[in-house]
Structure 1
């Protein structure tokens, strides 16, 4: 089962998150009608019809009724959940996908489903290498395990011909309205506060890690391309294809902020074993280039400028090395 053609009406679940709001914008900019679905509204979401729904708590039948009423031909799952235990992680990331898949099967007309996974589903990546879609996933964190379980549910259903779906494993994202609880979101908020207090020095613990970051606007463009493709690969990695030192990005953010270099005092720290990532993350995006014709269009400096431009000042918060 494969749906070709330009998406006309899309439902975006998790529409108020950092990635979700940019996915909404990517579809709207390309002429699609957007139905934004999330538990609660948020600023910067855009002028789209909004449905305040907790998709993780609806039954498959209830969710199917909502999607059918909205007359969508495309569904994007940008929901993200967190928990402290394996059960809480599964409740946040697996159970909602089970219900959503049941809803998609119950729809009177087929839709294209784009599921957003995470590069962390692969687990630790050997230093100096780029992970591609043939790698055997071996996640170590509770979060990554739950996300892998959800992605496999989607891939298995697609392999059985039950739905038309593609899974995108996104690497780390940066850009406008970066999540305030993320490392760079929290750091930018602290730098905003420091900018209002000349002479204040911000201490930052930075792990000796290299990560593949992609501008969230480019990630959203990849989501649209996966929705519009006639017969995309069922699993695609989305990233820039380069691992950049986290410390380099920290110093770049300080530079684009306009603060003097000595406004930040960097303390080197070990990568936390419980971190979602490890000391090296690099994506091989060649399959996405070939299948979708997708390439990132924003430099990381552009992404960090956007982080700075859209961040709100916040009181200092402890920053752990990422």
Structure 2
């Protein structure tokens, strides 16, 4: 049994992992709530087995996990339902154990760390002391998994990612700017845009996740995959301007504006508590990961922005950017 399954496969990171597996000629399973989305993303890939599930049903989870050796967990929830993260993990974990799954890789976030203590860059031993509700829910999710590993019930690891961007990534902080750079108009962004930040180019993630999942020594702890170094949103906007040859109009929303917009938008209201990550940056040190699995390919911001702009349809409707779940 060597099947690798992507639970929550239709997001950008899931598709990056699937591309890496396909490049190796490996068969894999993709699991999602909606058959239509799975077919649209993977129906033409002969290596992908499409399976639907109901994450609220233990029987459905067991069926989706049956025959799987390694489960990569990418399941997202709406920003206003972060209380579901521990619940979904608990159900999925128990059902996976019952189905005979040996390993789980959780694609995690920096939310459980809370505010930076001791300065940047942050290593994996940074205290996990979240001061936000979303951070506490993500921490509870991680604890369920790592406690199961410590108890010998399953092998588990967590890979933390920063904000990401890339071709077709609609949930990036940079998506609105990329659309405006290609189509014209004004880019809506979250500020401050001059503070240090890091972004992971999504196609770089998949090969790393596959290598991590295949490495026995990876299990039992947390790892970081950082972006291509510290930058700023403004610097990346300037790169877009350089590539298109024209200035970009910006409309930048800070914390106060988010609070105001939150009176009318549930998403904006939920984003307020995580705004500190823009004004109090947390940058990751991923040297431990490179020591474990070897060199980590990092696409330069210049090349990543070029590829991102090239993938923006000239006439598609704009979507509001949002942070990943």
Query: How does the TM-score come out when normalised to structure 2?
Result: 0.81
The aligned residue for residue 242 of structure 1 is 229
The aligned residue for residue 248 of structure 2 is 263
The aligned residue for residue 294 of structure 2 is 293
Q: In 1, distance between residues paired with 2:323 and 2:292?
A: 35
Q: Secondary structure at the match of 2:108?
A: strand
1:25 aligns with 2:11: no
The aligned residue for residue 263 of structure 2 is none
Q: In 1, distance between residues paired with 2:298 and 2:97?
A: 35
- Give the C-alpha shift of residue 163 in structure 1: 0.3
> Counterparts in 2 of 1:56-75, with a 5 A limit?
56-59=55-58, 61-68=59-66, 71-75=67-71
Q: Aligned pair in 2 of structure 1 residues 259, 9: CA closer, same or farther (>3 Å)?
A: farther
- The question of whether the paired residues in 2 share the 8 Å contact of 1:205 and 1:319 is answered with no
Q: Aligned pair in 2 of structure 1 residues 175, 204: CA closer, same or farther (>3 Å)?
A: closer
Structure 1: where are the runs of 5+ without partners?
1-6, 195-199
1:77 aligns with 2:73: yes
Aligned length: 299
- Give the C-alpha shift of residue 131 in structure 1: 0.9
> Counterparts in 2 of 1:60-209, with a 5 A limit?
61-68=59-66, 71-84=67-80, 88-91=81-84, 93-108=85-100, 110-125=101-116, 129-178=120-169, 180-194=170-184, 202=187, 206-207=191-192, 208-209=194-195
- Give the C-alpha shift of residue 83 in structure 1: 3.6
Q: Aligned pair in 2 of structure 1 residues 294, 114: CA closer, same or farther (>3 Å)?
A: farther
RMSD: 2.8
Q: Secondary structure at the match of 1:125?
A: coil
Structure 2: where are the runs of 5+ without partners?
259-271
- Give the C-alpha shift of residue 117 in structure 1: 0.7
- Give the C-alpha shift of residue 150 in structure 1: 0.6
The aligned residue for residue 262 of structure 2 is none
The aligned residue for residue 311 of structure 1 is 312
Q: In 1, distance between residues paired with 2:95 and 2:9?
A: 18
1:52-95 deviation line (CA, Å, top 9, x unaligned) = 323x2221x43122221xx22221111111242xxx3122x221
Q: Following superposition, which runs of at least 4 residues in structure 1 exceed 6 angstroms of deviation?
A: 317-322
Q: Aligned pair in 2 of structure 1 residues 174, 205: CA closer, same or farther (>3 Å)?
A: closer
Q: In 2, distance between residues paired with 1:319 and 1:16?
A: 18
- Name the structure where helix makes up a greater proportion of residues: 2
Query: How does the TM-score come out when normalised to structure 1?
Result: 0.82
- Give the C-alpha shift of residue 125 in structure 1: 1.9
